[in-house]
Amino acid sequence: KLLVIFRGINVDYFDPTTKTEIEEKKLLKNWGIVENKKIILLPGRLTSWKGQELFLEAINMVNIQLGYEAFYAVILGSDQGRDLFKKKLIRLSEQYRMTKQVKFIDHCKDMALAYKVSDIIISASIEPEAFGRVAVEAQSMEKVIIASDIGGSNETVIDEKTGYLFEAGNANSLSKKILKVLNLDDTTIKTIGTEGRKNIVNKFNVEKMCFSTYSEYKKLIN
């Protein structure tokens, strides 16, 4: 007999109702974001398999399609000593002439707040994530997630309902999904956010994970 118990996150911490407007404004100021533009966030440590290069390529494609820079692109994560890779990403943003649009943020002690101030969350990993916290945390915060269609995201994201999946490693596929989300009306965005949180609370809740694990051990012992 095989039983699957899904890994969970703290849905009380990743709850959009717990953040204040004052906190949001302070964080945006720290990030150097002053214009009232949408924010596309890519969280995760700076390493090639997390897909930061792919993300920048996709953003450039979106800019070409739109004809202007309609949003900020925030790459949030420490290079953890991989300074050469960070320099490579900065050079890439310069090559695409996106230095004002792209923000490199080393760290954020309140990830729930980082999600809250953002409009679209990206998980662009080019190799499978066993779980993929970003996709789960973003849904819990009622944000639209766009994730690569490999690894955990295939199970945690319900495509077209709680978020969107794109072809892993394909910048063109990612750019199309970004354009699609940018064109969604407020009602649809709200619905996706609501469905996303419902999905996480029901299936990927740490309390549920612990209770299910405890219950199964108890059955085995008895």
pLDDT, tens digit, for every residue of 129-170? 888 999 999 999 999 999 999 999 999 999 999 999 999 999
DSSP state of 130: S
- Token pair recorded at residue 178: 């970004």
DSSP state of 127: S
Give the C-alpha distances (Å, rounded to integers) separating 53 from 39, 92, 170, 192: 18, 8, 11, 27
Q: What pLDDT was estimated at residue 211?
A: 64
Task: Quickly list DSSP for 195-212.
Answer: HHHHHHHHHSBHHHHHHH
Judge whether 53 lies within some domain: yes
Taking phi first (over 0 means left), then psi (-120 to 50 degrees means alpha), and beta for anything else, what does residue 142 get? left
The span from the CA of 106 to the CA of 50, in Å, is: 15
Q: What pLDDT was estimated at residue 214?
A: 66
Judge whether 78 lies within some domain: yes
pTM: 0.92
pLDDT band at 85 (very low <50, low <70, confident <90, very high): very high
Judge whether 222 lies within some domain: no
The span from the CA of 195 to the CA of 159, in Å, is: 11
What mean pLDDT do residues 91-113 have? 96
Number of domains in the chain: 1
Judge whether 208 lies within some domain: no
Judge whether 216 lies within some domain: no
Residue partners of 109: CB distance under 8 A and separation at least 6: none
What mean pLDDT do residues 197-221 have? 81
The span from the CA of 87 to the CA of 75, in Å, is: 13
Residue (of 103, 104, 123, 124) closest to 171 by Cα position: 124
Judge whether 12 lies within some domain: no
- Span 28-40, pLDDT tens digits: 999 999 878 999 9
The span from the CA of 41 to the CA of 145, in Å, is: 10
Judge whether 3 lies within some domain: no
Residue (of 84, 38, 79) closest to 178 by Cα position: 38
The CATH number that applies at residue 78 is 3.40.50.2000
Query: For residue 68, what are the domain limits?
Result: 19-198
